[in-house]
Amino acid sequence: MFGATLLRMTFDPAPRVSVSDHVFGRLRDAIVSGRYAPDETLPGERELAGAFAVNRHAVREALRRLQQLGLVRVSQGGATRVLDWRVHAGLDLALSLARSGDVLPVETLVRDMLEMRACVGIDAARLCAERADPAVVAALVRAAEEYGDLAPDLDLMNKANIAIWRLVVRGSGNTAYQLAFNSLVAGTFAVGDVPPDARAAELLDVAGHRCLAASVASGQGAAAARHARELLTAPVTTPTSPTSGREARA
Amino acid sequence: MFGATLLRMTFDPAPRVSVSDHVFGRLRDAIVSGRYAPDETLPGERELAGAFAVNRHAVREALRRLQQLGLVRVSQGGATRVLDWRVHAGLDLALSLARSGDVLPVETLVRDMLEMRACVGIDAARLCAERADPAVVAALVRAAEEYGDLAPDLDLMNKANIAIWRLVVRGSGNTAYQLAFNSLVAGTFAVGDVPPDARAAELLDVAGHRCLAASVASGQGAAAARHARELLTAPVTTPTSPTSGREARA
DNA sequence: ACACATCAACTCGTCAACTGGTTGTACCAG
DNA sequence: CTGGTACAACCAGTTGACGAGTTGATGTGT
């Protein structure tokens, strides 16, 4: 353990970013930050390659990724146009945004992702309780029971918490929820440590997770949704302004 | 209208798929369908290039996109390993899945996306009503008023409907909701026409959309959420099997 | 003066062959 | 069994070239 701490504190994991990753990140930030307005034409591949001092193929790989992300639209013969990411980009952009922030206020992004986590988690808990797969439910109950054993270590609890919610989302049988959950988890991981205090309160609520699992196991969707709401809305309502309604808990 | 129908029925939208797109789609389907199990090693780039009879760069571009989608993890020197897309893939995969279905039951995927649309839309309506930007609210009210003018044409109404909800999501001020909404819209568009009847009932409910806009304009989050729920939950509860619990509505 | 076909100069799309850095494995001396 | 080396396989990146498509200007006929 001493060695691990020493290593983690002393040495970086090596800044090994590939060339195309570099180009991709720069262009993404430039587009999202608005330095390239929507409908504007990006420089040609050769020009970009010259500007970044890299090969054209590296630029092409970066452009392909930007295209898949919904940030640009390349067309053979024509110029590559910048798209409005607020309209064409998918949820995966959030991860990419969080990973190298600065371009968007990180606090707001984290709040948004926590809000979405609550929204999806609550409904997933309800669905999981209703159309439950026995195996998943059993795994969920077991995970919830073993959850308290990690009591003091917030890092471990966070991992276990993600595992629990992953089971819930899987149990919901909704692929879209599952994929969105992955995006959110990756995003919050990329952004580093989110609001520590509020999340800590949520993570340490071992009883709440047990109640959630029990509700799911007994097939009571409404109760599962209620418990999920109590767990998930705390981090989003506590640190932010008191605008969001507290009516649901009354 | 005759010409449009003729064109749509007669000619394909041009099978202009680039080589890298082809490789990408094939590999994606192979991975998602399970022909490549998680943790399995994909063939090398040269081997794949040989198998597809294309250049290695085309394979590289495809692999880059797969990596960004969270389907594989390539590492220099080592082999490219297949990841479990249920764990590592983001919501954008849903679009990619819907675009070339067959690999996953389309009905289920559509149901899932409609469910998620309802879940996100309801909360977005609530947030939009609470933290409203006057300009967006004004645009929303205007859009809702002009919505009924397109009464008979379901295609136009669908477009206008998307515009309305886009305003709602934008008004919510939640970037994650916005991005997820984009993913869902693109996915439902890609899958072609989703359950026509249920969606038609929703689309033709002009009064419901006006009520939603009015609730948002008056800043009543709960009412906006209720109207959004009435609009969005109809398509998901009506056409599916009666397995989903009806307790919540009782 | 206007409409239209033609063409040249871009752009992206694809390909071939090459060099270099990284990983994993097999092998061998101690 | 340990530690080091040698080698093969792989990914990463580069160079150079050609084909395919788009765009805008040019020239021509009406």
Asked which of A92-96, A121-125, B112-116, B141-145 is least confident by mean pLDDT, the reply is A92-96
Asked which of A1-15, B1-15, B38-52, B167-181 is least confident by mean pLDDT, the reply is B1-15
What is the arithmetic mean of pLDDT over B71-86? 89
What is the arithmetic mean of pLDDT over B171-188? 92
What was the pLDDT predicted at B222? 92
Q: What is the mean pLDDT of each run of 10 residues along chain A (250 residues)?
A: 46 71 89 88 87 88 90 87 92 82 77 93 95 90 89 82 94 94 88 70 88 92 93 68 37
List bases in chain C with any atom under 7 Å of a protein Cβ. 10-18, 20-24
Interface test with A, best of B179, B194, B226, B232 (most A CBs within 10 A): B179
What was the pLDDT predicted at B33? 86
Average pLDDT taken over every residue of chain B: 82
CA of A75 to C1' of C16 (A): 24
Give the minimum alpha-carbon distance from B170 to chain A in angstroms, rounded to a whole number: 9
Considering only alpha carbons, which residue of chain B is nearest residue A183? B90
Q: Which residues of B touch A170 (CB under 8 A)?
A: 86
Q: By the 8 A CB rule, do A180 and B91 touch?
A: yes
Instruction: Give the contacts of B4 (CB within 8 A, at least 6 positions apart).
Output: none
Phi, psi of B118 (to 5 degrees): -60, -50
What is the arithmetic mean of pLDDT over B130-152? 89
Q: By the 8 A CB rule, do B232 and B202 touch?
A: yes
| C-alpha B185 chain-centroid distance | 4
Q: In whole angstroms, what is the distance from residue A8 CA to residue A10 CA?
A: 6
| Share of residues in chain B with pLDDT > 70 (%) | 83
Q: In whole angstroms, what is the distance from residue B84 CA to residue B102 CA?
A: 19
What is the arithmetic mean of pLDDT over B162-191? 91
pLDDT confidence of B250, banded at 50, 70, 90? Answer: very low
What was the pLDDT predicted at A225? 94
Residue type for A106, please?
Answer: V
Beta strands A72-73 and A81-82: pairing type?
Answer: antiparallel
What was the pLDDT predicted at B195? 65
In order of start, what are the domains of chain B with their CATH numbers? 19-89 (1.10.10.10), 104-240 (1.20.120.530)
| Contact flag B120-A115 (C-beta cutoff 8 Å) | no
